[in-house]
A and B are shown apart, each in its own frame.
Chain A
């Protein structure tokens, strides 16, 4: 991998209103629901012209800093302790590697179907709780 770390200036990035509104909405959902930021970020990124795989990997890069900020606020507000996450972390990291490797090989259409089906199932479960 060779990445050019040179700073290209602010004009290099896209600052249109669609991206600003989408970004603010993504952060809002992430802070409010403690998840789901990615589910907002993916369609936002796709609307800005990226293909489905770029949008899905780009959403991670958007949500990561937002989750750091949100988690810091949750932690500071006494809602969660750092130790609470240990039971899930090792398996989660293993899953993250599998997911990232799998992504180059899975069809975008299938990604959408899995994503949509899962969201409906989860939403119904939460509402009926």
Chain B
């Protein structure tokens, strides 16, 4: 298969998994580092840029179905902003090699957790309805 087709396939799979909140980013990132041989930090940058329009498109579709719980999403995202700055700084300190290994450990731990201890449902249907209802404001 020509390289351009494999790249497109990786992009397609990453978009699909990303739209489902399944860590699509890691698919493209793994393709870029393991197959295309890109430097880890460069690949991470491509992955971040790639994710923005894909997530925006998927989010728009989810919002049409009123599936987005803005009440919880907005504070989570706001608190993530300083976290992102610290993470960016640390990735520069660790370099591509160190960050790549860290990413591997992270995925492994998360995968084991996901298969062995799947999260339980927390709220009643009524509470869930109050978290995501049609009267939610856009942030």
Determine the main DSSP class of A at the interface with B: helix
- Tell me the nearest residue of chain A to B51, going by C-beta: A67
Residue with the highest number of chain B CB atoms closer than 10 Å, among A15, A31, A32, A34: A34
- Chain B residue numbers with a CB within 8 Å of A52 are 119, 121
- B86 close to A (CB within 8 Å): yes
State the Cβ distance, A119 to closest chain B Cβ, in Å.
Answer: 3
A89-B79 contact, Cβ under 8 Å, with A31-B86, A34-B47: no
- In the assembled complex, 19 residue pairs joining A and B whose CB atoms fall closer than 8 Å, in A order, are A13-B72, A19-B76, A28-B84, A33-B103, A34-B91, A35-B44, A43-B113, A57-B67, A58-B21, A60-B59, A61-B59, A64-B77, A65-B77, A66-B81, A69-B85, A74-B88, A116-B110, A125-B30, A125-B104
A16 to B56, CA, bound (A): 27
> Given known contacts A71-B52, A85-B46, A104-B65, is B57 in contact with A22 (CB within 8 Å)?
no
Chain A residues in the interface with B (C-beta under 8 A): 1-8, 12-15, 19-39, 41-71, 73-75, 77, 79-80, 82, 84-85, 87-104, 106, 109, 111-127, 129
Nearest Cβ in chain A — how far from B137, in angstroms?
5
A92 touches B55 (CB 8 A): no
- The interface residues of chain B, by DSSP majority, are classed as helix
Chain B residues in 8 Å Cβ range of A91: 7-12, 15
In the complex, B4 has a CB within 8 A of chain A: yes
Alpha-carbon distance between A38 and B69 when the two chains are bound, in angstroms: 15
Within 8 Å by CB of B119, from A2, A46, A66, A102, lies A46
Cross-chain contact of A58 among B68, B87, B123 (Cβ < 8 A): B68
With an 8 Å Cβ cutoff, the count of chain B residues facing the other chain is 109
Q: Would A123 and B111 be within 8 Å (CB), given that A61-B59, A92-B14 are in contact?
A: yes
Does B109 count as interface, using CB distance less than 8 angstroms?
yes
Contact of B23 among A1, A8, A12, A35 (CB under 8 A): A35
Q: Is the CB of A80 within 8 A of B49?
A: yes
Interface residues of B, Cβ cutoff 8 Å to A:
4, 7-30, 33-34, 41-59, 61-92, 99-115, 118-119, 121-123, 127-128, 131-132, 134-138
- Compute how far the CA of A61 lies from the CA of B60 in the bound complex, rounded to whole angstroms: 10
The CA-CA distance from A3 to B85 in the complex, in Å, is 32
Contacts A53-B67, A61-B73, A95-B13; is A117 near B115 (CB within 8 Å)?
Answer: yes
Establish whether residues A50 and B69, one from each chain, have CB atoms under 8 Å apart when the complex forms.
Answer: yes
- Asked whether, in the complex, the Cβ of A23 is within 8 Å of the Cβ of B79, the reply is yes
The residue in chain A whose Cβ has the minimal distance to the Cβ of B116 is A116
